[in-house]
Amino acid sequence: MASDRRDRDDRDSPWKEALERYLDAALQLLFPAAHAEVDWARRWEALDGELQQVVRDAELGRRLADKLFKVHLRGGGEVWIVLHVEVQGQVDAELPARIRLYRNRIHDRYARPVACLVVLADERDDWRPAAYEEEVLGTRERLAFPTAKLIDFATREAELLADPNPFALVVLAHVASLRTRKDPDGRLQWKVRLVRSLYDRGYEREDVLELFRFLDWLLGLPLPQEEAFAQELSAIEKERAMPYRMDFEVKAEARGEARGEARGEARGEARGEERGQRAALRALLEARFGELPRDLAARLDAITGADVLDRLVRRAAVAATLDEVLAALDDPPRP
């Protein structure tokens, strides 16, 4: 169970980080009415540790992310509420019951008003839960909660590409991942398009790195398209005379390592770097998933290309199962 929880947290991390970094932007785009009532001039606070304590024995259903925040409402003073944001990745009949359970437990803990906002990230148009209702012997309970259905943004592509809101790229990337689940070439085109948009927006370095990491995670590619993307990325960076190699910066920060040497070094040094990367990849996979099958170890040893190996290391660090890593070798991963 501990291992399952760790893997789930690793997989959820990019969504959670996106919400925490861009809470203001996320609500502005997805829940504008709620956004208008929050005093964004006041510091808001993430309460992740508190959320785990509140729901530690209520692991119901599969979701992409849960975040708990302390936010102030407009009007001044110390008027603050607890905001629970959930990103639900697939149809789940128990979702309304879970929202009601979390809301009640959060309210009991803080004795403050609780707002629950739900992002529906699945692709079924007819599934739009918006309330929990129960009635027995004349006792009636109803809890309504706002929802945002991400596939509704599929028809707003041009608008989102022109929107300076950073969360517009997050939403577009998610919609693109659903559209191209079985279309690696289409996913490559979308990924290049979104990265071009990211570079053209004039964001600060930290925002570019964070959003690039999210796009790269959500729009993972099989190896042939991965190599093509690396070439496209290099061309984009040369076109825009970027002051740093985005691809290398993201990979270095994701692993907590120093930035690798740029491509184009002497062939002998490149081969040595690849050997080190292959060794790091095997060590990471064995640490997370145990001894590797012999045929898989042989396949890993045959992989070449510093960019490809770096991307596999990063995928191995967030994959929930070994099968997800194998999928990166052959097929586009599922979002």
- pLDDT attached to residue 252: 45
Span 46-56, average pLDDT: 68
Residue 81 contacts residue 112 (beta carbons within 8 Å): yes
Transcribe 72-115 into DSSP letters. EBTTSTT-EEEEEEEEE-S--TTHHHHHHHHHHHHHHHH-S-EE
Same domain for 140 and 15, yes or no, is yes
- pLDDT attached to residue 246: 55
Same domain for 113 and 202, yes or no, is no
Span 305-320, average pLDDT: 74
Domain membership of residue 60 (yes or no) is yes
- pLDDT attached to residue 50: 63
Span 48-64, average pLDDT: 58
Percent of the chain with pLDDT strictly greater than 90: 43
- pLDDT attached to residue 55: 61
Band the pLDDT of 263: cuts 50, 70, 90: very low
Q: Tens digit of pLDDT for each residue in 182-219?
A: 899 999 999 999 999 998 888 888 888 889 888 988 89
Span 37-63, average pLDDT: 72
What H or E segment, with its residue span, contains residue 231? helix 223-239
Tell me what the pLDDT averaged over the chain comes to.
80
Percent of the chain with pLDDT strictly greater than 70: 77
Band the pLDDT of 35: cuts 50, 70, 90: very high
Domain span including residue 135: 2-152
Domain membership of residue 165 (yes or no) is no
Tokens 């290398």 sit at which residue?
Answer: 248
Domain membership of residue 81 (yes or no) is yes
Domain membership of residue 166 (yes or no) is no
- pLDDT attached to residue 37: 95
CB under 8 Å to 87, separation ≥6 — which residues?
Answer: 15, 19, 63, 64, 65, 66, 119, 121
Same domain for 198 and 314, yes or no, is yes
Same domain for 89 and 214, yes or no, is no
Overall domain count for the chain: 2
- pLDDT attached to residue 5: 38
Span 102-119, average pLDDT: 92
Tell whether the model's pLDDT for residue 104 goes beyond 80.
Answer: yes
Q: In what order do the strands lie in the sheet with 80-88?
A: 45-46, 65-72, 80-88, 114-120, 147-149
Same domain for 45 and 124, yes or no, is yes
Residue 36 contacts residue 126 (beta carbons within 8 Å): no
Same domain for 129 and 206, yes or no, is no
Same domain for 14 and 126, yes or no, is yes
Domain membership of residue 162 (yes or no) is no
3-state secondary structure at position 163:
coil
| Angle value at C-alpha 59, between 55 and 64, nearest 5 degrees | 100
Q: Tens digit of pLDDT for each residue in 217-259?
A: 889 888 888 889 888 888 888 887 765 455 544 544 443 433 3
Same domain for 13 and 91, yes or no, is yes
- pLDDT attached to residue 187: 95
Q: Which two tokens stand for residue 116?
A: 């629950």
Band the pLDDT of 61: cuts 50, 70, 90: very low
Tell whether the model's pLDDT for residue 11 goes beyond 60.
Answer: no
Domain membership of residue 281 (yes or no) is yes
Same domain for 83 and 142, yes or no, is yes
Same domain for 142 and 80, yes or no, is yes
Q: Evaluate if pTM is beyond 0.85.
A: no
Residue 178 contacts residue 123 (beta carbons within 8 Å): yes
